Amino acid sequence: MEAEILMKAILLAKILLVLGAVVTALTAERRTLTRVLGTFFTILPAIVLVYAGVGLIVWGATPSLVLTEISAIKTRLTLQADVLSGLFLLLIGILSASAALHSYAYLEHPHYRQENLIRYYPMLLLFILAMVGVVVAHDMLTFLVFWELMTLASYVLVAYERSKPENLRAALKYFILTHLGALCLLVAAVILWVQGGSFEFGTVFATFEKLAKTRPMLLHGVFALLFIGFATKAALFPFGDWLPDAHPAAPSPISAMLSGVMIKLGIYGFLRFFVWLLPTAAFPFAYDWSYVFGIFGVVSAVLGGAAATVTYDAKVLLAYSSIAQSGFITLGIGAGMFLFRQDLQLANIAMAGAFFHIVGDAFVKALLFLNAGSVLYATGSRRFADLGGLLESMPETAGTAFIGSMAIAGFPPLTAFVSKWLILQSLLFSKSIPVTFSGVGMLLASIFSILYSVKFFASCFLIKPMRAEKLEVPSTMRLAQLLLTLLIILVGLFPGVVLRWSSWIIADASMFAGAEQQLAGVWQWAWVQPLTGAFSPLIVIGMFVVVSIFAIISVGTERQPRKAPIWVGGELIKQEQLGGHPQGVPLREELLQRAYPKAPVPRWQPPAWFTKLLDPEAWMYRPVISGGEWISDLLRRAHTGVPHLYIAWQIIGAAIIALIVWLMFRT
């Protein structure tokens, strides 16, 4: 009964999204009408999706619907949602609603006004539709179709502002790199089809079991292809090289969607194929692949954090930070896959941390991208050099950005703290030397995240003399930010609720079944008490309030502060020379040893290949492009329009075919 309602809700959302795409495409010439309709047709399905997501998690139903059967490939195209899909449906719903609210006013900025809305709202709705399709697909074919649709729709959205050549370049890079990833997924799907005979997930499950027993190397190959495909979407280093280019190019609400949910769908792929669809016989493979997850997770977390610390562009900073957070999540999943055999409870804690980070980071990163968009809307720039001193000009945006930055820095009692704390516990107490040392990398990455979040907030809103003019953004944009801020505070104050939901989700995977009873007392509504630690956000916030009240009483703040000009020791300095340089943390110079001319002391320089390795564009993206150009050049040369040449080609081709036929039938 419940299952039917939920399936109907998901279908209703999909129909509404398609309808909205058609309607907004038809009305695209009338901007105001399209904006209203587009917002309406995003928020309505979003509410339905939130309902479906919560229902799926709370009722634990697995509604299923067979679309059609293709007997030629022995596959029934199926939609099926379970608790794991429920979580992602919930995130898609919430984030698409806030992105739609934010883009209502954002698209009327003079910057974007000359762009046609037909490339925005229909594509946004198709993008949401595709993401919903990805998480409820239950066979490889549907999954890949929606996966491609998601990439295509988001490609158009990334290239929305097409008057700038760098945006088109970023979009093309995104297109090519994600398609390389999708190609890997396609090859993996075909291999599984050849081995198993069907594209359905049930058959994939059986195929994994068969391959684990008979052909383990082939299974490792399939896993490698799946890993590369999903890591490209999840933006792990070095596969995520498209992300720092694509995010600044996209309109800010789209960046929020890309970073908040879309790269989390790469994580969904990891969870679905490496945990959920794994039969017992293939569990040792999960153990082997946990090392890969851990290595890529730590490297992405540390490098993403370090790169975010030295950027001078608000949206690039957030993009690198997305890579880092993706690394944290992957590390948590890897820890869970490593530990499930020796210590189920600790493995469950790691997975709960990963799930909490998926939820928390989705909200926080979406909020920060919306903040960056508001700043861009108000000032027309996203470079830190042009920003600063906006705190009093846009107080509400600044307030939400403060909460968001503190949350992503991981300060209690906000969201990212709980997840980092849980993952770090499982890493440190794993009794395995490499895993514990990945905890060292994780702590380093956490400190980088403190640095770049402080840098983001301070460079946007502080560090310069406060601007006098009022620049606050329109109310719909503020509403979207406020919604996400409230969610961050709620999730941060009551982590037990989300953690209990994630424990239900985790218990659904056969790998982690049975740990729910062991962890029964751990996730209370207001405090979290795993064996190895304890945290209660309410008590922390209570202490904050008590101490603040005491301090207010003891120092007494009834005297108004007196305003005075900035004091620089009596030097004559112009107003615009005041304030700090936007580099915030001058780490780049420090790291590259350029700050001062140095005495000839022998210093360790990283080898050239290592420096090259850190630039995936040079060794991954450009070779693909030049290879493609080379091949198309060859093809072009074959078609010169000379008839003799064509006849020659035909004769050679006929000869080759004849040779093949002869070889086949010669017996």
Contact flag: residue 562 with another protein (CB under 8 A): yes
**Single residue of 217, 468, 553, 564 touching another protein by CB under 8 A:** 564
Contact flag: residue 352 with another protein (CB under 8 A): no
- Provide the mask over 499-538, with x wherever binding to another protein is found by CB under 8 A and - wherever it is not: ----------------------------x-x-xxxxxx--
Number of residues forming the site for another protein (CB under 8 A): 84
Contact flag: residue 623 with another protein (CB under 8 A): no
- Provide the mask over 407-426, with x wherever binding to another protein is found by CB under 8 A and - wherever it is not: --xxxx----x---x--xx-
Contact flag: residue 99 with another protein (CB under 8 A): no
Beta bridge partners of 79: 65, 137
**Single residue of 565, 602, 606, 643 touching another protein by CB under 8 A:** 565
DSSP state letter for 236: -
With respect to another protein, which residue has the nearer C-beta, 577 or 667?
577
Query: 197: buried, middle or exposed (CB in 10 Å: 19+, 13-18, 0-12)?
Result: middle
DSSP state letter for 62: -
With respect to another protein, which residue has the nearer C-beta, 549 or 652?
549
With respect to another protein, which residue has the nearer C-beta, 120 or 421?
421
Stretch that binds another protein, among 68-76, 224-232, 433-441, 503-511 (CB under 8 A): 433-441
Q: Are 182 and 152 in contact (CB under 8 A)?
A: no
**Single residue of 552, 638, 651, 657 touching another protein by CB under 8 A:** 552
With respect to another protein, which residue has the nearer C-beta, 205 or 527?
527
Ramachandran category for residue 569: left, alpha or beta (phi over 0 → left; psi -120 to 50 → alpha):
left
With respect to another protein, which residue has the nearer C-beta, 324 or 406?
406
With respect to another protein, which residue has the nearer C-beta, 268 or 457?
457
Q: List the interface residues with another protein, window 185-244 (CB under 8 A).
A: none
With respect to another protein, which residue has the nearer C-beta, 184 or 398?
398
Contact flag: residue 489 with another protein (CB under 8 A): no
Q: Are 388 and 464 in contact (CB under 8 A)?
A: yes
**Single residue of 121, 147, 429, 501 touching another protein by CB under 8 A:** 429
Nearest-angstrom CA–CA distance, 525 and 574? 54
| Helix segments in 120-200, DSSP class H | 121-136, 140-158, 165-196
The two tokens of residue 533 are: 């630690």
The amino acid present at 148, given as its one-letter code, is: E
Q: What angle do CA 10, 130, 100 make, to 5 degrees?
A: 80
**Single residue of 36, 149, 490, 540 touching another protein by CB under 8 A:** 540
Q: Are 266 and 242 in contact (CB under 8 A)?
A: no
The two tokens of residue 153 are: 């729709």
Contact flag: residue 376 with another protein (CB under 8 A): no
Nearest-angstrom CA–CA distance, 99 and 285? 39
Contact flag: residue 44 with another protein (CB under 8 A): no
Nearest-angstrom CA–CA distance, 472 and 482? 14
Q: Cβ 193 to another protein, closest distance in Å?
A: 45
Q: Cβ 404 to another protein, closest distance in Å?
A: 14
Contact flag: residue 283 with another protein (CB under 8 A): no
Q: List the interface residues with another protein, window 440-479 (CB under 8 A).
A: 440, 443-444, 447-448, 450-451, 454-455, 457-458, 462-466
Q: List the interface residues with another protein, window 571-600 (CB under 8 A).
A: 578-581, 584-587, 590, 595-596
Going 222 to 223 to 226 to 227, the CA torsion angle's sign is negative
With respect to another protein, which residue has the nearer C-beta, 436 or 611?
436
Q: Cβ 478 to another protein, closest distance in Å?
A: 16
Contact flag: residue 350 with another protein (CB under 8 A): no
Q: Is 210 helix (H, G, I), strand (E, B) or coil?
A: helix
Q: Are 375 and 427 in contact (CB under 8 A)?
A: no
Ramachandran category for residue 285: left, alpha or beta (phi over 0 → left; psi -120 to 50 → alpha):
alpha
Name the helix (H) or strand (E) containing 585: none
Q: Cβ 365 to another protein, closest distance in Å?
A: 19
Q: Are 84 and 276 in contact (CB under 8 A)?
A: yes
Contact flag: residue 385 with another protein (CB under 8 A): no
Contact flag: residue 494 with another protein (CB under 8 A): no
Q: Cβ 396 to another protein, closest distance in Å?
A: 11
Q: Cβ 488 to another protein, closest distance in Å?
A: 16
**Single residue of 166, 281, 550, 650 touching another protein by CB under 8 A:** 550
**Single residue of 437, 494, 504, 619 touching another protein by CB under 8 A:** 437
With respect to another protein, which residue has the nearer C-beta, 280 or 548?
548
Contacts of 17 (CB under 8 A, 6+ apart): 41, 45, 125, 126, 128, 129, 132
With respect to another protein, which residue has the nearer C-beta, 232 or 405?
405
Q: Are 466 and 477 in contact (CB under 8 A)?
A: no
Q: Which residues of 456-476 are buried (b: 16+ CB within 10 A; e: fewer)?
A: bbbbbbbbbeebeeeebbeeb
Contact flag: residue 406 with another protein (CB under 8 A): yes
Q: Are 402 and 410 in contact (CB under 8 A)?
A: no
Nearest-angstrom CA–CA distance, 219 and 213? 10
Contact flag: residue 112 with another protein (CB under 8 A): no
Contact flag: residue 389 with another protein (CB under 8 A): yes
Nearest-angstrom CA–CA distance, 504 and 289? 24
> For residue 511, which of 664, 223, 283 has the smallest C-alpha distance?
283
Q: List the interface residues with another protein, window 4-43 (CB under 8 A).
A: none
What beta strand segments (E) does 344-495 contain? Answer: none
With respect to another protein, which residue has the nearer C-beta, 17 or 462?
462
